Amino acid sequence: MKGGSKKLPRRNFLHLAAGAAALPGVARVAFAQAYPARPVRIVVGFPAGGGVDIVARLMGQWLSERLGQPFVIETRPGANSNIGTEAVVRATADGYTLLLVHASNAINTTLYEKLNFNFIRDIAPVASIMVVPNVMVVHPSVPAKTVPEFIAYTKANPGKINLASGGIGGPSHVAGELFKIMTGTDMLLVSYRGMAPAVTDLLGGQVQVMFNSLPASIEASSQSDLAHNIP
């Protein structure tokens, strides 16, 4: 998900709203005048409660208010968003099934050798929405307030820090593995079926650290007695 906070003009959106699959050969102007004439689905390839789901629901509400039709969020989790992506690829190319693309979609093109679709060929971009940074969130049981302090503590306690991820191959997993390689630290990876359950266990202290998107971390980090962000 990329882009700035600038509002997408109605005319631009209507012309671009081909959905997540290529438009059939219809005149864009005629299509724009009638679109949307019925509810639109926005497919999210992750469980509810994570950063992607939060962004989708905010955008769905924004679009519904401005275009006069419901934009319904449909979560289709599994296989690091591949299940939801394939559902959109197989949907009718009429602009009424959209996919909220995530960094995982780019990762999957190299992570999986065989997919039932070609992301570059089968998915047409509609619009950039926003830039979502990842943050490092640490349970307060870890006596570290900065990244160097965390690295030093982890090296002094190899294998004793549990690193949460929202699923194998996802951005949280990739970020965590990259961090381990760059810092030479040894942490135990604990994978969850989505970021929401991972955050729950982080707050409960079952895991000590995770790399999470900012939208999904705001509520957790606001509970300063439970978790804190490391700058």
Query: Does the pLDDT value for residue 1 go beyond 90?
Result: no
Q: Mention every residue, 6+ apart, whose C-beta is less than 8 A from residue 154.
A: 161, 183, 185, 186, 187
- The predicted pLDDT at position 64 comes to 95
On average, the pLDDT of the chain sits at 82
- Percent of residues, the chain, with pLDDT higher than 90: 50
CB 202 within 8 A of CB 140: no
Q: What share of the chain is helix, strand, coil (3-state, %, to 5)?
A: 40, 15, 45
Dump strand ranges (E) for the chain. 40-44, 71-75, 97-99, 134-138, 162-165, 188-191, 209-213, 228-230
The pLDDT of 210-215, averaged and rounded, is 85
Residue limits of CATH 3.40.190.10 in the chain: 134-230
Rounded alpha-carbon distances, angstroms, from residue 36 to 70, 71, 122: 9, 10, 22
Asked if 55 contacts 86 with a C-beta cutoff of 8 angstroms, the reply is no
pLDDT tens string 130-181: 787 888 999 999 999 999 999 999 999 999 999 999 888 888 899 999 999 9
Q: Which CATH superfamily is domain 134-230 in?
A: Periplasmic binding protein-like II (3.40.190.10)
What is the model's pLDDT at position 71? Answer: 97
Instruction: Say how far apart CA 229 and CA 133 lie, in whole Å.
Output: 13
- 200 or 184, greater pLDDT: 184
Structure tokens at 227: 């978790």
Portions of the chain given CATH number 3.40.190.150 = 10-122
Task: Check if the beta carbon of residue 33 is closer than 8 Å to that of residue 163.
Answer: no
- Tokens (6 digits) for 102: 């995530």
Q: Which of 11, 3, 69 is nearest to 38 (CA)?
A: 69
For residue 227, pLDDT beyond 60: no
CA distance 191 to 197: 10
Note the CATH architecture for domain 10-122. 3-Layer(aba) Sandwich (3.40)
Q: State the Cα–Cα distance between residues 222 and 82, nearest whole angstrom.
A: 32
* % of the chain surpassing 70 pLDDT: 80
Please state which of the ranges 33-42, 62-71, 210-219 shows the lowest mean pLDDT: 210-219
What is the tally of helices (H) and strands (E) in the chain? Answer: 10, 8
Question: pLDDT tens for residues 104-123?
Answer: 898 888 888 889 999 989 99
